[in-house]
Structure 1
Amino acid sequence: MWLLRTLSYPQTNVFVICFSTASPPSYENVRHKWHPEVCHHCPNVPILLVGTKKDLRAQPDTLRHLKEQGQAPITPQQGQALAKQIHAVSYLE
């Protein structure tokens, strides 16, 4: 799958990297997997960082599940901080 993905990178004008605001592991994958891969193959292509599923951030079931895991939803401030860290042109939810 990795090789197939990298074949699609040439001629890319912008990357949209998404993570679920209801999944801290998804958020961490941006930093440890997706951003390094994008920067390795296309170092000068702009990145938009997008936090998805923001509606789940306040759902009792989601909060309960995350609390059981010792986690919490990703806040807009955390999304903004990650966007700054990876030099994304913008953060959207």
Structure 2
Amino acid sequence: KWTPEVKHFCPNVPIVLVGNKKDLRNDEATKKELMKMKQEPVRHEEGRNMAEKIGAVGYLECSAKTKDGVREVFEHAARAALARKK
């Protein structure tokens, strides 16, 4: 829903799609809550497909709680921003 607006107002800004709360993907309590709503955690492949669909320069996942992947998200975003300026 938000990508057309971003592309309109920031046409030269690269988009990096980030899946947050990666640690909850295998959390049983979270899975039970999602099942009550007939939902499930987003799979990595689904995130990658969405990134491709919206024209993102990448898809990464991270968990602020465990710090897994956080550094990579910032590094990827910085590289994407610097590469676009050339």
Report what 1:23 is aligned to: none
Report what 2:41 is aligned to: 73
Q: Find the partner of 1:64 among 25, 32, 41.
A: 32
Percent identity, aligned pairs only? Answer: 51
SS in 1 for 2:59: strand
SS in 2 for 1:45: coil
- Looking at structure 2, the residues matched to 35 and 85 of structure 1 have their Cα atoms a distance apart, in angstroms, of 10
Deviation for aligned residue 1:44: 2.3
Report what 2:23 is aligned to: 55
Deviation for aligned residue 1:37: 2.0
Partner amino acid, structure 2, of 1:80: R
Deviations 1:29-83 (A, max 9, x none): xxx1x31221121122111110000100110110000000000000000000000
> Alignment length, in residue pairs?
61
More strand by share: 1
- Looking at structure 2, the residues matched to 36 and 51 of structure 1 have their Cα atoms a distance apart, in angstroms, of 20
- Looking at structure 1, the residues matched to 25 and 5 of structure 2 have their Cα atoms a distance apart, in angstroms, of 28
Unpaired runs of 5+ in structure 2?
Answer: 62-86
Report what 2:58 is aligned to: 90
Q: Find the partner of 1:41 among 9, 14, 29.
A: 9
Unpaired runs of 5+ in structure 1?
Answer: 1-31
- Looking at structure 2, the residues matched to 72 and 36 of structure 1 have their Cα atoms a distance apart, in angstroms, of 26
